[in-house]
């Protein structure tokens, strides 16, 4: 009996969790070994001294390698169906399509559109200036060689991290805020174009069509009038009788009716 996709996905999830734990343990052990190698042992380092330290974590190394290989084998033996990802709408492309469909806006609408476009230029510029200002002091600190004398590298790295990390976190927060504000501006401009399209659809257009008679209607009435005139002329000059006589002869002689 073949396994269902739900069971296969559960197996992949459990195996992935186990693999993640092994890899995390391997990473922690690697950092501890590197610190141990750095703080002890003869200098310069040799292959023998490094190999002796790394041999203590041989079990985790083999477990990590086996987990990776086992994951590949599992994906081949029990492949899981990939879920289709939903298409993500691009707000910029959507706005451009609506702008082309809306046509020429009024002066008030054009002013609102220009305001949103200006804001989308100001947000990245302000973010870039603030980000550059945040990097001034960390940059000066990192390029000052007096701060890295080599007496206590661990303390020096920790001190540099305490200076660089806050600036980096604040900079990332500013970038995220810029993205949110830009997206909100795009949505506001898109709403303006949607309103323009909705208002133009609501405008009556029947009066413009009825202002002038269509040429095709004139031609139809002209042809109808000419036909009536020729029918009347045919009745008065005897052509209608001739047509009736010929029709009777065709029915009686050719087809054989009567």
**Domain span holding position 64:** 5-77
Taking residue 26's Cβ as centre, other Cβ atoms within 10 Å add up to 19
Residue bearing tokens 């990332």? 172
Average pLDDT taken over every residue of the chain:
78
Asked if 71 contacts 15 with a C-beta cutoff of 8 angstroms, the reply is: yes
Write down the pLDDT at residue 77: 84
More confident residue, 107 or 200: 107
Asked if 129 contacts 171 with a C-beta cutoff of 8 angstroms, the reply is: no
Asked if 190 and 105 sit in the same domain, the reply is: yes
Q: Report the distance separating Cα 113 and Cα 39, nearest Å.
A: 62
Q: What sign results for the dihedral spanned by CA atoms 50, 53, 59, 64?
A: negative
pLDDT tens profile 142-186: 888 888 776 676 677 778 888 888 888 898 899 999 999 998 998
Residues 6+ apart with CB under 8 A from 143: none
Angle at 234 between CA 230 and CA 238, to 5 degrees: 170
Tell me whether residue 168 is in a domain.
yes
**pTM greater than the 0.75 cutoff:** no
Asked if 16 contacts 70 with a C-beta cutoff of 8 angstroms, the reply is: no
pLDDT above 80 (res 9): yes
Q: How many domains does the chain have?
A: 3
Write down the pLDDT at residue 88: 46
- Residue 95 burial class via C-beta count within 10 angstroms: exposed 0-12, middle 13-18, buried 19 and up: buried
158-196 in b/e form (b: 16+ CB < 10 A) is eeeeeebeebeeebeebeeebeebbeebbeebbebbeeb
Asked if 245 and 196 sit in the same domain, the reply is: no
pLDDT tens profile 23-52: 888 888 887 777 777 776 566 666 677 777
Cα separation of the two ends of the chain: 83
Asked if 191 and 245 sit in the same domain, the reply is: no
Tell me whether residue 245 is in a domain.
yes
Asked if 54 and 157 sit in the same domain, the reply is: no
Write down the pLDDT at residue 118: 92
Write down the pLDDT at residue 130: 93
Tell me whether residue 15 is in a domain.
yes
Asked if 179 and 237 sit in the same domain, the reply is: no
Asked if 199 and 223 sit in the same domain, the reply is: no
Q: Report the distance separating Cα 147 and Cα 88, nearest Å.
A: 48
Residue bearing tokens 């413009």? 208
């Amino acid at each position: 009996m073949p396994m269902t996709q739900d069971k296969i996905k559960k197996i992949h999830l459990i195996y992935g969790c186990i693999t993640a734990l092994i890899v995390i343990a391997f990473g922690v052990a690697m950092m501890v070994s590197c610190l141990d190698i750095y703080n002890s042992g003869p200098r310069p380092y040799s292959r023998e001294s490094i190999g002796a330290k790394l041999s203590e974590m041989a079990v985790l190394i083999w477990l990590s390698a086996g987990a990776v290989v086992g994951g590949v084998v599992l994906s081949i033996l029990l492949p899981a169906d990939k879920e289709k990802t939903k298409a993500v709408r691009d707000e910029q492309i959507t706005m451009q399509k609506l702008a082309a469909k809306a046509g020429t806006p009024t002066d008030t609408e054009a002013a609102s559109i220009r305001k949103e476009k200006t804001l989308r230029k100001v947000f990245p510029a302000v973010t870039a200036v603030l980000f550059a200002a945040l990097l001034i002091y960390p940059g000066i600190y990192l390029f000052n060689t007096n701060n890295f004398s080599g007496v206590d590298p661990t303390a020096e790295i920790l001190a540099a991290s305490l200076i660089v990390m806050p600036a980096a976190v604040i900079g990332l927060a500013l970038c995220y805020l810029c993205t949110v504000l830009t997206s909100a501006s795009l949505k506001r401009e898109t709403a303006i174009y949607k309103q323009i399209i909705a208002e133009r659809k609501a405008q009556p257009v029947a009066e413009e069509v009825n202002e002038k008679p269509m040429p095709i209607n004139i031609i139809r009435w002209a042809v109808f009038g000419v036909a009536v005139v020729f029918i009347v002329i045919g009745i008065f000059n005897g052509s209608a009788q001739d047509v009736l006589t010929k029709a009777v002869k065709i029915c009686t002689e050719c087809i054989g009716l009567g």
